[in-house]
Amino acid sequence: MSERGTVTGEDGLARCPWGLSAPEYVAYHDGEWGRPVHGDDALYERLCLEAFQSGLSWITILRRREGFRAAFADFSIKAVAAFTDEDRERLLADPGIIRNRAKIDASLANAHVAAGLGAGGLDELIWSHAPDPADRPVPRTLDDVPATTPESVALAKDLKKQGFRFVGPTTAYAMMQACGLVDDHLAGCHVRTATA
């Protein structure tokens, strides 16, 4: 395929081109990205990480993921919603995460909003915006993959209406891709073939 289509790795497997750019990307591409994620805490983690990624490369987040998990109590909504001002200061000083005040504050505020939705509420809210796979053409190159969709615009609007922060349409779409609401693995990618 073209430069923006699938690329075959040394292991003989065709992947989306970004999936071969670093060892962390290979593991993330093959084992996680685009696979359905359910559960409030798991989705809260992805929502936080996508917000922290804004303006940075995803590899930066992947390389600090364990640091984020340690800092944010494994993204337990209940635990993070109980964080104090001292916890906030701890996060701002933690070199294992991205120490961005606005993103940290948004993550803490989002835990309160998610907790207010009740058990299963965040999962239901996010997955209610999953498009019908039959209505989506299989992307052949990276040029076929949008940055936003009507569904991601609607999801961002719905999240903001609930009180979530740092959740624009592009961030919402990246989360939809990461959590399997859409399958943007390219045609010919071994992961798409394996999960079809």
Q: Which two tokens stand for residue 109?
A: 């505020």
Catalytic one of 28, 33, 44, 173: 28
Catalytic one of 25, 44, 50, 151: 50
DSSP 39-71: SHHHHHHHHHHHHHHTTS-HHHHHHTHHHHHHH
Residue (of 175, 166, 171, 49) closest to 105 by Cα position: 166
**CA 43 – CA 46 distance, rounded (Å):** 5
Decide if 58 is catalytic: yes
Element (H, E) at 15: strand 14-15
Decide if 18 is catalytic: no
Decide if 25 is catalytic: no
Catalytic one of 44, 58, 151, 173: 58
- Active-site positions? 28, 50, 58
